[in-house]
Structure 1
Amino acid sequence: MSSTSTRAARSTTKPTAVKRRGALFDSAFHDGFGQWPVGYIPVGGADMGDIVAVANVVADGDDSAFYDAWVDAAATKYSEAEAVLAAGHPQSARDLFLRSSCLYAAAYHPLYGTPVDPRLLSAFNKQMNAFRRGMELSTVPVHPVAIPYENTELPAYLVPAFGRETEVRPLLILNNGYDATITDLYFASGIAALRRGYHVLMFDGPGQGAMLYERGVSLRPDWEVVIAAVVDYAETVKIVDRAKIALSGWSLGGYLAPRAASAEPRLAACIADPGQWDIAESIRGFAMRFGASAEDVADLDNLPDATIEGMWSAIQADRQLRWAIVQRGLWANGAKNLREFISKSARYTLKDRVGRIRCPMLLTAAEHDPLAVATSDFYDALTSEKTLLRFTAAEGAGEHCEMGNRSLLNQRVLDWLDDTLSPDAPSSS
């Protein structure tokens, strides 16, 4: 792809479909990404006017138009931040830098894939620079940290609880999934936890954020290796109560976090949003739609060629599936083709490890979240202390990761964490 971003020409024909109820963007594909910042409105990640203005500019444009509109909006906020900072208003500048980071983060997901589009890297770098500048303007300045991990380091932020920055407090580690970054963690859950009195540690792991975009490091199913390094670091931080370290994962993190908990005894609690214990289940069902038998899907490494070819054709014909599997899935997993992607995905299972989880577990399940279809089975298999929280469309929280009502999700999850960790009680350690 070209290293320069050009303004995309509008399509010569208007879409014939009526815009979906609740949609802001003409394209359903763009709407899925474009509405991410809606979930961050209560904590200042964006405002509805920002999002609607971008949608109006994109109209029926293509992925380049989507990218350009978000980047332009983010650059405007960044310039405003610099102006008000120069005028002596650091708090306003902080808020604008953080909003800018949120808008940059919304720009590039349709560009996922290899070779990595230079526009993606440009927006990501600007996103993280805006986030850094905003965090450094906090009442107590916050700076990026690096967590030692194997032969490299994980980019991270350790953010002290608001108003309790010097106290020894419980720590909540926030764990991403497939396609979000540190800034998403901050807006989606971090601010709510900081307000509640938890120190927060956010990081990019293998296959996530800078680790994938800049270094090409792929996801790994044995996430306990990653979290062991993160907890090792956390235990060196003086303000962290080592007896009250909790881990929370969203999206694919709903598998990664409990997988880590199955081997990490230092975790005092674990949250999976949504709870997932076998990523290959959906692949098995998909394969059977294309002629695979129950015997075939029992060994995903050896699916018939005809099944693979049928699945591949269906994926290529569906814009959302093509993005999820070809652009994102192959890239994040370091897979060269669909067969290799399926083989790697089959390793993401907890069915042989669920009994090893010892800490209290909280699983969430949103009504219309396809990743939550087996959450009840996971819950039933758990032998540790456990809680299942369900979220509904009637509450505005029925979609994946409750993005329409993160405030409700955070309130219920943090109430559970308060009850589980008793954060203000003296630690027994």
Structure 2
Amino acid sequence: MITLGALAILRPHRTGEGFGRLFVDQTYHHQALRALNHIAAQGADVSEVLETTALVRAGDAQGWYTAWTALGDRNLARAQATKDPQSRGQALLRAHTYYLRAEFFLPPQDPRRPDSFARNTKAFYEGLDTLGIPYEKFPIPFGAHHLNAVYYPAVASAHRPLVVFCGGYDSTMEELYFFLAAAARARGYAVLTFEGPGQGSVLREQGLPFTHEWEKPTSAVLDTFLDTHARPDKIVLVGLSLGGYLAPRAAAFDDRFDGVVSYDAFFDVGAVARKDAAIAYTLRSVGLESWVEGLAALKSAVDPGFGWSLANGRWTLGKSKPLDVADTLAQYTLENVAVRIRQDVLMFAGVDDQFIPLEQLEQYKGALVNARSVTAKVYDRTSGGAEHSQLGASTLWQADFFDWMEEKFGR
């Protein structure tokens, strides 16, 4: 069995002990761990990921793209040469994961992004088809635009709640299969995944940016789904990453949801943005806002995570100036919304979460004064679930999630 300690033979190490990280830089470590996270749902393999990360230096977006694209190409070629349908389908799902990782650090307007995205989505659906995994893909009318949804029917006709699942700041609808849909289907749950404004193809192909009023796209998705499907006895809404804010925001305004899950608990996105932009706000207060762009460029050059986050914010929020990004994110708070939440609530948190301060968990719990019940799960480093969205520990948080589902909504 190959573990992360195998990195010791790929990179020099001063004492010979095993490694706990794939990169010293947190953002690059997190994205490589994101690929490993999908192993449980057949979306990656250990040695492939380790060998690929050994070829990349943190901060080298071009080298990252080249290495992960090559890995995707190898898996696609393997799928085309494989006769066994199970092996072929798994290779296609791995190709999807690696192509998706490849584009992650590219600038939003990089001309290679559309092709990379097209390759990852094509490999994903071909993988599902090859493996015989049933799904329904359909558009959702949304004003002058349309959203997209994928419904995975339950394997058996068990009377379990429908799980509705949305992503966050950088996720795609297809990737949601590996985070939760595959595991839920294996347990007899039907799952409805969707991409809203600021996400996936809705952003890339229609240019529709995020909205903090997530109840609008979520209600549109549920309305369209229920037009052609029987209404389940219970419906539970789950939000990943930024979805930890988006999902409870939607549930606060839609009583058709019986439960809501913040994976992880994101009570106040604006507070994080204000803290990160503290110097920029100070410059604006003394009339030196013209300096902010230069300061942001300088920080981006030395901090890959900051550079990616700012670029992604400009793109997904439809803003051009750094402080416009921070000002917009100020709207993404549950402070005056959580009081409306009356469902059963489950929230997750990791002690080493790079995006969400742990104290937001307590803020969120304290604000849920009208919730039917509130359950919180906090994971430390020893558990393996300390990272944002418990990356690399999917079986850990899923065990708690499905126990909670059974406790609150069991037959």
TM-score, normalization by structure 1: 0.84
Which residue of the partner structure matches residue 6 of structure 2? none
Q: Show the 5 A alignment for 1:240-279.
A: 241-279=231-269
CA-based RMSD of the aligned residues comes to 2.8
> Cα–Cα, structure 1 residues 15 and 71, in superposed 2: closer, same or farther, change >3 Å?
same
Residue 31 in structure 1 maps to residue 29 in structure 2: yes
Partners of 1:308 and 1:405 in 2: how far apart? 43
Partners of 2:106 and 2:377 in 1: how far apart? 34
Q: Show the 5 A alignment for 1:29-428.
A: 29-58=27-56, 62-84=60-82, 87=83, 89-113=84-108, 116-162=109-155, 164=156, 169-238=160-229, 241-288=231-278, 292=282, 303-306=285-288, 309=291, 313=295, 316-317=298-299, 318-369=302-353, 370-371=355-356, 372-382=358-368, 383-384=370-371, 385-422=373-410, 425=411
SS at match of 1:131: helix
- Amino acid of the structure 2 residue aligned with 1:414: F
Which residue of the partner structure matches residue 9 of structure 1? none
Partners of 2:14 and 2:147 in 1: how far apart? 44
Partners of 1:308 and 1:360 in 2: how far apart? 47
Structure 1 residue 396: Cα displacement: 0.8
Partners of 1:45 and 1:388 in 2: how far apart? 28
Partners of 2:113 and 2:13 in 1: how far apart? 30
**C-alpha contact 1:308 1:338 (8 A) present in aligned 2:** no
SS at match of 1:109: coil
SS at match of 1:248: strand
Partners of 2:19 and 2:34 in 1: how far apart? 16
> Cα–Cα, structure 1 residues 304 and 277, in superposed 2: closer, same or farther, change >3 Å?
farther
* 1:245-284 deviation per Cα after TM superposition (whole angstroms, max 9, x unaligned): 1110111000000000110110011000121222111233
- Amino acid of the structure 2 residue aligned with 1:161: A
- Amino acid of the structure 2 residue aligned with 1:373: E
Partners of 2:86 and 2:27 in 1: how far apart? 35
Paired residues in the alignment total 394
Structure 1 residue 303: Cα displacement: 4.9
Partners of 2:13 and 2:159 in 1: how far apart? 58
> Cα–Cα, structure 1 residues 331 and 16, in superposed 2: closer, same or farther, change >3 Å?
farther
Partners of 1:287 and 1:20 in 2: how far apart? 36
- What residue ranges of structure 1 are gaps of 5+ in the alignment? 1-13, 297-301
**C-alpha contact 2:236 2:260 (8 A) present in aligned 1:** yes
TM-score, normalization by structure 2: 0.88
* 1:160-185 deviation per Cα after TM superposition (whole angstroms, max 9, x unaligned): 123x1x56642111110001112321
SS at match of 2:105: helix
- What residue ranges of structure 2 are gaps of 5+ in the alignment? 1-10
